[in-house]
Structure 1
């Protein structure tokens, strides 16, 4: 007899529905309660989990005595910190919280302190860690295929921000800014792959193409749509992020490149399959990992296909499934949490530091409590 876990969900927009589709693939994972005030999203979710009960507020869901054994937070970014604090106060349940775990610097210490006293696993959703090509890329780095990592470049050339419930993702104050909202993933990967902490960040950003003709309540969106970020690590490694959000015509959405004294290692990840024009271009690209040794020269290419069922369950190359599998094991088998609250907070702080650097034109130095910057 396998384990079973009763889940409650907070927020069931686009990402919440991806969580539902992936939990449905895990035997014993049962979503029984969903907090989602938006009626349209409720209807879409009811089609995925017909037996779940819907609530308009988190308090109502917690008061309903649904026998919950785990919680998933997939609400808009600006709600994460307050909801986490409420759950830390009112429950002892395991929690999986979507990135970014917070969206403001003043929330970092508060969440860190509250999480330290929580008796159950708390897992921050960093989907990019679990994409099969990225897993293979990381394995080859750890195996020493390139020697000690010196430089790491991450390039994401993708589609503009999608339309979300109440357009919450159009404004920095609700998202933390593009470098927090979407790029905390990449700052998390940088820490994971270098196995080191960030000491300095410099960023240059622009809003050059997207959302310029949109207004919401008379206000134009202020989120950037392209950036270069350079990151220095305590261990001496350096990393860069090259982000562009009006480049969805690309074959690959993410490209990772690590270089050491022995070789270069690259990873190529396509974007969501539902956006690929199969009728004109045929099958969507397959992820690959390419090792290019210095001696003997000659790139070694490996295709890393992703299971079709997993591709169909979401936009993140199967990673949401593997992430949930890990969280399920943390709940049922006391397996370790891969992405801790500390990991989640550090990734946000790097993103906030990058946003700050772009605004001031100064490099920003990270400190234990956040960051500081030179005033020239």
Structure 2
């Protein structure tokens, strides 16, 4: 490998540009190629690359990139429904791959990617930035260290802004995204698995599109993506997890909140401001003994993206895996498992019933 890891970025929309900005912060990395069929997106990439843009090769299609580019690592940030088609030629390259979440929009496509990734000689990484938010990482570390005792309940809340406009408005339709419970919530289902350290067995989701996009039409078609939901997930080890999602709560003080409750204590994390709140059990009528700490985030990493600095820390870990100095933290199989839970939640919301993971697990 060269002194610097040579990156290609496929898909230079909003998330692709965030990757470009964070790769630029790595001392041992350089972007040498970008790929996007849309001229506007390539313009955004040039703006993000700044003075280095003229030295970066530009491709309009991934097939030509796969034949001509010389890279050590590839970031796939193309629209969700394109991931399988985009990855097919990339698996023929001698390069590590980071594929943005969700791994695919269907369980069948995600399983195909898992099979191909297993045969790929270089590292394959599913992009799950939320694992790498410093406050979330500190929360997970403390739960795994036993600070709450035996974990019994996990609650995650995201109250945020609506889906942002994307090129071609592809994210307004479940056929392109897998549905909100796959597209957006795969992050949280991945966090659930990571924190609980078990696999999901059943899902119940109550959700609908009640506020956002209801007046929008695209070629006469009305968007069909969930904008609020409650989802309960039962895990094989007996832990229950719950996701509370609202995508019309952009005025909320905390965009994300997570609460782990065990037999000894409760631990909360509030994002932002990155505050950890530890509340041990004290017995009825006894004085509370709440402890509050705040997790600092590097301001440079924070400014380079919209994920509380997580994209930088993920890239730092991915670069270590590319060089052979670190492990793959988020595998293709992790990506598949998150898609399975999301797909089950979408079925549950539409059909108003509990869905066993076994029902979706073997789709091909």
TM-score of the alignment, normalized to the shorter chain, above 0.5: yes
Q: Equivalent residue for 1:8? A: 8
Deviation at 1:6, TM superposition (A): 0.6
Q: Equivalent residue for 1:289? A: 276
Distance 1:257 1:31 in 2: 38
User: Which residue, out of 85, 91, 98, partners 2:100?
Assistant: 98
TM-score normalised by length of structure 2: 0.95
1:99-248 → structure 2 map (5 Å cutoff): 99-248=101-250
Q: Is the 8 A contact 1:353 1:371 kept in 2?
A: no
Q: Is the 8 A contact 1:109 1:369 kept in 2?
A: no
Distance 2:257 2:224 in 1: 26
Q: Is the 8 A contact 2:110 2:335 kept in 1?
A: no
1:141-186 Cα distance to aligned partner (Å, 9 max, x none): 1121110110000000000000111101000000000000010000
Tell me how many residue pairs correspond in the alignment: 355
1:43-82 → structure 2 map (5 Å cutoff): 43-49=43-49, 50=53, 51-64=55-68, 66-82=69-85
- Structure 2 residue matching 1:223: 3-state secondary structure: coil
2:253 paired with 1:256:
no
Deviation at 1:61, TM superposition (A): 1.3
Q: Equivalent residue for 1:87? A: 90
Deviation at 1:80, TM superposition (A): 0.8
Structure 1 residues 41 and 109: alpha-carbon distance in aligned structure 2, compared to 1, 3 A threshold: closer
2:316 paired with 1:325:
yes
Structure 1 window deviating more from structure 2 (113-122 vs 232-241): it is 113-122
Structure 1 residues 369 and 228: alpha-carbon distance in aligned structure 2, compared to 1, 3 A threshold: closer
Deviation at 1:225, TM superposition (A): 0.2
Q: Is the 8 A contact 2:173 2:179 kept in 1?
A: yes
Distance 1:28 1:363 in 2: 48
Q: Is the 8 A contact 1:154 1:240 kept in 2?
A: yes
Q: Is the 8 A contact 2:66 2:89 kept in 1?
A: no
Q: Equivalent residue for 1:279? A: none
1:56-89 Cα distance to aligned partner (Å, 9 max, x none): 100111222x32111100000000122223322x
2:346 paired with 1:355:
yes
Distance 1:163 1:369 in 2: 30
2:67 paired with 1:36:
no
2:328 paired with 1:337:
yes
Runs of 4+ in 1 over 2 A off after TM superposition: none
User: Which residue, out of 282, 293, 310, partners 1:302?
Assistant: 293
1:121-150 Cα distance to aligned partner (Å, 9 max, x none): 000000000001001101111121110110
Deviation at 1:297, TM superposition (A): 2.5
Structure 1 residues 371 and 260: alpha-carbon distance in aligned structure 2, compared to 1, 3 A threshold: farther
Q: Which runs of 5+ in 2 are unaligned?
A: none
Deviation at 1:106, TM superposition (A): 2.2
Q: Is the 8 A contact 1:3 1:332 kept in 2?
A: no
Deviation at 1:369, TM superposition (A): 6.3
- Aligned-residue Cα RMSD (Å) equals 1.6
Q: Which runs of 5+ in 1 are unaligned?
A: 271-285
Q: Is the 8 A contact 1:9 1:72 kept in 2?
A: yes
Deviation at 1:209, TM superposition (A): 0.4
2:314 paired with 1:312:
no
Deviation at 1:254, TM superposition (A): 0.3
